[in-house]
A and B are shown apart, each in its own frame.
Chain A
Amino acid sequence: MSEEIKKLIIDYVKKEYLEEDSTMEVNENTKLISSGIVDSFSMVSLKMFIENKFAIKIPDDKATPEAFDSVNNIINVIKEFVKI
């Protein structure tokens, strides 16, 4: 299950935040926010994607740049709200 979620988020990041012809590798440890792939404004759309997909509401104090800085970090956030 966790692998499927990883793939889901990685695919979304590639589709939404990288150029179509980008050859950049994104894996579960790739830094997303601190690398600038996803800026702090765009993080709101990434958060909404997660909330919509998992039918959860992530409070602002849990949605920090650090908490969203990699796919693994995001999965840890999701685990606080749903069993995966």
Chain B
Amino acid sequence: MSNIGSYEEKYKTFKWEQAEEELEYGKNGIYNIGYYCSDRICEKGSANKLALIWEGFTGGVKNFTYNDIRVYSNTIAKFLQDNGVNMGDRVCLFMDKVPELYLGFIGILKMGGIAQPLFSAFGEEALFTRLDDAKTKAIITQKKHLGKVRRIKDKLPELTKIIIVDADDTTPQVNEIHFCMEKSEKVDKFDIVKVGPEVPSVLHYTSGTTGKPKGAQHVHSSIIAQYITSKWVLDLQPDDIYWCTADPGWVTGTSYGIIGPWANGVTQVVLDAGFGTEKWYAFIQKYKVTMWYSAPTAIRLLMKEGLDVVKKFDLTSLRHLASVGEPLNAEAVIWSEKAFGKPFYDTYWQTETGAIVITNFPGMKIKPGSMGKPFPGIAATVVNPKTYEPIETPGTVGLIALKPGWPSMMRTYWNNKETYNGKFKNGWYICGDRSSIDNEGYFWFVGRDDDVINTAGHLVGPFEIESALLEHKAVAESAAIGKPDPVNMEVVKAFIALKPGFEPSGDLELDIMNFIRKKLSPLAMPQEIEFVPSLPKTRSGKIMRRLLRAKEWGEEIGDISTLEND
């Protein structure tokens, strides 16, 4: 029996207050996420239960009980306080999936800081943009990523604490502090900083079509939604061994890789390694994973390796599977039934929504390729893109829209209230995605409503890529779009006009690709570059990205009356 039971019944009757009561949120005036993910679970009698089983690439394993989570997060919280980090300061986590990342996240929240996780593969420019915007005070990182931080730190006057978790005996440079979590004096008792439910907790950066990446600011009470969606959608149960493959540098990795499972007192496993089909199956087999939350890109990579390799492993422990990041195609759902005897359940949400909002529920009839139905407590519809009025006719494509007011909704974009306000139309939060709803209430994803590129479930802004491209010595002008890709849904393609004196070549293409990979991230690296004499522009000189995208996707080009040249 699934945790949610009857979806229809829950959708009719559920109020968010019920989740608050179940979580005992606010009891004794405590609202801090850090408490609910560690101390509360210990108080409930599960101090010795495993919270985290961590395995590194070379096979090293570390186990952490809920009491360990409590004590180590206390230790990190006190360390930050002792080093002058105060409530409200932004503290960046810039690490691989090492235990300090997970425990540091809880530690930052416990001392009232705002956790700002960033994907460790970000290049120095992507890192700089996000630290500069947030005026980040401290960064917790590893030696292997320190070079990127050192190269930009002089341009970040607010960044005064660079904490290195695996430092050696070398002398730290200015503003650097060595901190070894496991060798530090453990802090058993720590006064978790009192915060209200609306106090900022987490800052996750996401990309838009124009301008710099935006920091979606969440608050402590987001845990109410993350707790109940983990319980009802991921169906987390007390004896589960849960594996979320997402990196906490992205929102899935914190909402459902830290907060959701630990608020539910579940044991989770983490594999700090790159992708490998056999490695992943062996990991599931070794730890008898019961609930697996992954991404369509990973599922499609597994599909490429076929069914024979699946048969080499005992994966019968798997009880429930779910997927996030981009639409899960019907073929992947059908394949997973063949491979694992059960389908992947697609879940839809965004950095901004903080938690799952439209999804397929355990026990619900799955329509392969559909996003499912709204979570109880979420009013969702599709609206007309011009009037923002809900569309009543089934099967008609419109913009996905949600009634504001659920607990994990972002409260603003950091330093960017204007853009935040622009996300609301006619009383709806507009997600920026297009979908239709069928006559049974299932949502069907169609695509983005803007130029943002969704690659492997991560949003990449074309403007950020184009700006970086212009810094390459050979690039005169550029446009970046998403092109269809069978594994990643979309990958970045760049159209480039070269400066005089440069000729297209394979070596130049590779040089430009690597330039972007190092400056921004591997996700932002164009996987294809098309050299063109010039780019299509409007008469006012704006590059017509829409035209390039339509050609690439084989779509109608639409109105080109403003096109500058033939």
Given A19-B144, A40-B275, A41-B525, are A51 and B506 neighbors across the interface (CB < 8 Å)? yes
Provide the residues of chain A in CB contact with B23, threshold 8 Å: none
Give residues of chain B (270-312) contacting chain A, Cβ–Cβ below 8 Å: 272-279, 301, 304-305
B residues 114-168 touching A (CB-CB < 8 Å): 121, 144-145, 147-148
- Give the contacting residue for B277; candidates A21, A39, A48, A66; CB below 8 A: A66
Contact A42 B147 (CB under 8 A): no
Q: A19-B144, A52-B507, A64-B304 are in contact. Are A44 and B277 (CB under 8 A)?
A: no
Write out, one digit per residue, whether chain A residues 24-44 have a CB within 8 A of any chain B CB (1) or not (0).
000000010111111111101
CA distance in complex: A22, B301 (Å):
30
Nearest chain A CB to B40's CB is how many angstroms away?
34
Decide: A40 near B525, CB < 8 A? Known: A45-B517, A65-B275.
no
Which residues of the other chain, A, contact B275 by a CB distance below 8 angstroms?
33-34, 39-40, 65
Chain A contact residues: helix, strand, loop or mixed:
loop
Q: Which of B303-335 contact A (CB under 8 A)?
A: 304-305
Contact of B525 among A22, A37, A45, A49 (CB under 8 A): A45
A residues in contact with B145, CB < 8 Å: 19
Query: A21 vs B506: C-alpha distance in the bound complex, in angstroms?
Result: 28
A20 within 8 A of B: yes
Which of A36, A41, A51, A65 counts the most chain B CB atoms within 10 A? A41
Instruction: Give chain A residues whose Cβ lies under 8 Å from the Cβ of B510.
Output: 45, 48-49, 52
Question: Is the beta-carbon distance between B274 and A34 smaller than 8 angstroms?
Answer: yes
Number of A residues near B (Cβ < 8 Å) is: 27
Q: How far, in whole Å, are A33 and B274 apart by their CA atoms in the complex?
A: 6
Interface string of B444-479 (1 = CB under 8 A from A): 000000000001100000000000000000000000
Q: What CA separation (Å) do A31 and B279 show in the bound complex?
A: 12
**Residues of chain B lying within 8 A (CB to CB) of residue A49:** 510
A34 touches B279 (CB 8 A): yes
A44 touches B525 (CB 8 A): yes
Taken residue by residue from 51 to 78, chain A's Cβ proximity to chain B (1 for < 8 Å, 0 otherwise) reads as 1100000000100111001000000000
Residues of B within 8 A of A66 (CB): 276-278, 305
Question: With a CB–CB cut-off of 8 A, which chain B residues contact A45?
Answer: 510, 513-514, 517, 525
- B93 interface contact, C-beta 8 A: no
Among A42, A52, A65, A69, which residue has its beta carbon within 8 angstroms of that of B517? A42
Output the least CB separation between B546 and chain A (Å): 25
List the B residue with the shortest CB-CB distance to A51: B506
Chain A residue with the shortest CB-CB distance to B526? A44
Tell me if B527 is interfacial: C-beta within 8 Å of chain A.
yes
Is the CB–CB distance between B274 and A16 below 8 Å? Answer: no
- Which residues of B does A touch, CB under 8 Å? 57, 96, 121, 144-145, 147-148, 272-279, 301, 304-305, 455-456, 506-507, 509-510, 513-514, 517, 522-523, 525, 527
